[in-house]
Structures are given as structure tokens and as C-alpha cells.
A and B are shown apart, each in its own frame.
Chain A
């Protein structure tokens, strides 16, 4: 069995406003194995970015906080790590590619100096060596004329170029875990494909474990080994990519898959899940998806379904798939 690099258990992260607590991440469980690519999918606002920021220890401190659960990196508890220890881990062990590449770079420093900062924070090497390494990294992510690029500023680069710079920065210190938060959303299709190839190479050549956050199931199918489907702060279904695409169980996952445009069949209208993602904290009880679910019955609105894992590792959080008490004995299920 492969080693687990990252284990997230019952992670809860909230934001606090005068109106009260907003549970953006509401009990999330998953793990990441060595060399694995895990996809996390879900609609906008379901808590994907907040989950990754929680792992990085970068939840905005002015109004946000990890309020519960555990994040273990190679067995080490990160939610209780000191600020100093977290600084050693960030960038070196776990690195992240942020969602907005343009604004994620500092506008007043050159690309080179920002890359070199990432490199020199964790490696005691000279400026010259760091500059060489920076150029090397820019070449690695497929940026042309890297030796000129290091003297340029973020506003002189396109969005796609900024995104590559962010990737170069994230992988510069050879992290064990790379969290990529929608790294392709802002890019056009051809560049998207190049970036995905790049991630695949990193994964294969450096054995980097990757968490790939996206709301594009096409990206998941292309890249990931396993996928977790997130809805309103919770993971509702998880399993290997093949299983999830062929036998999705959760009505939300089924809806997501149905709404992928299929170029082979020209449909009059694309399917889309009716309704909207509820704002975090507005649903007090029951399944978070119940109000949009065509199969919902009474219990769905009253009780929160538990995650049920079948023997093939396919996990689902839905009463349709056996979490009612009487069914427990019939099926060989493990509760998480």
C-alpha cells in the first residue's frame, strides 16, 4: 500500500462576520497518497479554495479560522504546528498554485526576484545560482526567452504566462505536495492542455503528489487518479476517476457528469442542475443538496447523511446509497 502524504480529517474552516459564523468548509475528509493526483471538483463557492488554504495555513486571519479537524502531512499535525514550522513547510514541502495568477504576483518586483525569493527562502545559495535556477524553472514550465523574462514585471506578461510563473514558483523547491487551485480556468484551451501536460510531467518525473482543484470534469478525466466531489462545504462522493465517471452514485455527481458537453451528441439544451449552491451556513440540517435533489425524500431534509465507503473504496454521502439505520446490516458498509 502506498504511503499517505496528506491526511485531512473532519476539517472545518469558518469565516466570522457580524451576522455569525459561516462554515465554508464543514467537515471535509480525504487523503492524498504518494505520487497520486487527486481531483477536487465542485461548483463555485463550495469551499475548494478554503480547503487548500487551510492546508497551507493561509486562511485569512482577519476573519477566518480553522475551527476543527486535523491535517496531517507525513503524520505531522499541521493545525497545531508553530508558525516557524509552517514557514519551513510552505513552499518547501507543500506548495500551492493560486487561483488568480495575475494578482498573485507582486506588481512591483520582477519575475526573477519573486522566483529567486521562493528559491532562496529554502535553499542557502547565492543570488547567481538562484538566478540560474529561476531561468531553469521558467524553461521547465515552457516559457520562452526566460533569461529576459526574469527582468520583466508581472503586468508585462499575459495571464497564461503569469500562471506558468506561478507554477514555476510553486515547484521551484520540489514540494512533496502541490495544490493547484483551478490552474487552467483563466486560460484558453491550447494553453490549458500544455499546463495539464506540465502537471502530468511533474507528477511522473518528480513524483509530486498533486491536488487538482477544478470545476471542469474534463480536466479530472484527463489528469486525475482519484476524485472527490465537493458540495457546500462537504465532500459528497469520492472514488477512482473510472468508477466515478462510470457509476456515479450521488445525484449531484450524476448532475455534474450530465452537464458535461459531449461533442459526439449534439443536444438541444445542455443539462444543468436546477437551483443554486446554498450559501454556507444557510442550511442548518439535513443533506446540503436536498433542496436541489430530484430524489430527495423526507429524511434528507432532516438528517445529515454519513459517508459510506464500499469495498472498492467508492465513498458516497447519500441516503439513496444506504446510510439509513435499517440498511446498515444488509450491506457490508464502513462508516467514516
Chain B
């Protein structure tokens, strides 16, 4: 399984790289967080003491190692604005953002694959053309606009959907879904538009290959030809797209949490940035980076699961 080992090493290297970059960016960022914390009236002595407390007086490499150590121990320091541990703040909001991302991705997959198959089977027919044009349009519409429209037209007309605020899963499952489904749709729609073409083209390309003719030649049903033979092969390129989409979806939560007033990571990030809450921003950036890198790793593993040519390559 050298493939998996290689991919894992790549994951580690990427993480180191990202953490160094993040660290350096926060070093050169304007605006001294310590002064922000203490307010404009603080004197030099106070500033120095706090810097010592936060370890900011130490040389760069020591600070960096400290950051890495903290990252693995779940100790990213305290928030300046909330005066609480950064990890605690993130963990509280994580379920919201995570649910949102997962629901969005599920919507994207559930819509795109059947739609892609439908469209590919009708290549050059008007329904295929219509879907392609319609999704082109979908790509051009900004996320926040989709959100507004959904709030106005669906959220306001149906009781089930909550158009602001969040109902925790532990309180009510339907309530949670009701509060998350519209924001999830908002994130999903533009992503459906993007991934639809990939899925359609992948299926179209695969369905012209020789092995499909062999399958038909055995006398199996058309459903088996498409859903077993063609789809299984199409998933290999499609998984890449869904990996990219998941990263997009996570980015999408930042905007959508604002529009739907969901107290998730995205909102925390925006609040933290506006208050120059340096430890929180750093913590979120690192954890998001971790999530994205891990997703890429999972995608790589999925390749190997889906494609024996990758799995069995020595």
C-alpha cells in the first residue's frame, strides 16, 4: 500500500507548509494584537507583560513550535475578545458548520448524479441543452443572492423552514433540519451547477467506451449498464470534483452563516477578524486548512478504492 503511504506523507508535508505560511502571515500582519487587547491607554510595561504571557517575546521559531504543539494539544491560546480558549469557541460552533457542509454536499451529490445521467443519456437533445444552459446560469449567480431569494420565497411561505437562527440537533432533529436546509440549499445550488457538467461529461465519456458495449453484449439490462458499469467508472473523475466542491462548500458556509444568522465557524471568523482577535483567526485558519487537507487525503484514498489500477500499482 505504498500509494496510501505516499499520500499520507504528502498530507503531512502540506500541513507543515500551511502552518508555516499561516504563522508567517500573522507575523507580518499590521495591527499589534496586544495593543488592541489592552486598549489605547495601556503603557509599555503592560504591553511587555502581556507579550511575555502570550509568548510573543520569544524568537520566531520558538513561537512556531509553540503553535504546532498547541495545535496538536488542542490549545490554541485564548480569544482576545471573548477571553476564552479558542478551541472551546471553535468546538461550540463546529457542529453547525459541519452539519451545513455535510447536508450541502449530500444535496449536491443527490441532485448531480441523477441529473448528470439524465442529461448524458439525452446528449444533443433539447433537455440536455436546456439543463446545460440552465446550470451555466446557476454558476453565475452569487451565493448570497440565492440565499436571499430562498429566504424570501420559500422561508417566508413555509412554516417548516426557519430563516434565521439555529435549532440544535439535540433539541429537535426536524427543527435542526428546518433551520439548515435553506442555507444548505443556498450553498449547494451553485455547486450543483458546477459539478453537474463534470458528472454529465464523465458519464458521457465513459458510456462511449468499449467495455460498455461488452456489458450490453452480455444482455444485461440498461440500468445495470448505466448504474453499475458506467457510473462506477465515472465516479473516479467525479470524486475529484466532489472533493473540490467540499472545500468550496466550507468556504460557502462563511457567507451563508451571515445571511441566515447561523452561529457557526464562519460567523466566528468574521467577528474575530473585525476585532483583530488574532488567536481565534489563526486557530480557525489552521483547522479549516486541516479539514481541507484531510478531505484531499480522503479523496486520494477513494481513488484507490474505486480504481484497481491505482490501488494495485506497485
Contacts and interface: CB of A to CB of B under 8 A. Distances in A.
A42 B35 CA distance: 88
Interface in A91-132: 91-92, 95-96, 98, 100, 103-110, 117-118, 121-122
Contact of A90 (B208, B217, B222, B233): B217
Contacts of A155: 308-309, 312
Interface residues of A, number: 34
Nearest to B207: A62
Nearest to A62: B123
Interface string A79-97: 0000100111111100110
B213 A98 contact: yes
B210 interface: yes
16 contacts: A58-B216, A62-B123, A86-B219, A91-B218, A98-B210, A100-B210, A104-B213, A104-B214, A105-B211, A106-B214, A106-B232, A107-B307, A107-B309, A117-B218, A121-B218, A156-B312
Interface of A: 53, 56, 58, 60, 62, 83, 86-92, 95-96, 98, 100, 103-110, 117-118, 121-122, 153, 155-156, 166, 169
B10 to A, nearest CB: 24
Contacts of A62: 123-124, 208
A87 B309 contact: no
Contact of A95 (B123, B217, B312): B217
A153 B312 contact: yes
B5 interface: no
Contacts of A89: 219
A122 B236 CA distance: 30
B309 A104 contact: no
**In the A-B complex, the 8 residue pairs with the closest CB atoms:** A91-B219, A90-B219, A103-B210, A106-B211, A153-B308, A91-B218, A87-B219, A118-B218
Contact of B308 (A91, A108, A166): A108
A58 B307 contact: no
Chain B residues touching A, majority SS:
helix
Interface residues of B, number: 25
Question: Quick one: which of B123, B218, B232, B236 has the most chain A CB within 10 A?
Answer: B218
Interface string B185-227: 0000000000000000000000011110111111111100000
B306 A105 contact: no
B209 A103 contact: yes
A127 B220 CA distance: 16
B51 interface: no
Given A90-B219, A92-B219, A121-B218, A106 B229 contact: yes
B211 A103 contact: yes
Given A60-B208, A106-B214, 4 more contacts: A90-B216, A98-B214, A105-B214, A109-B232
Contacts of A117: 215, 218, 220
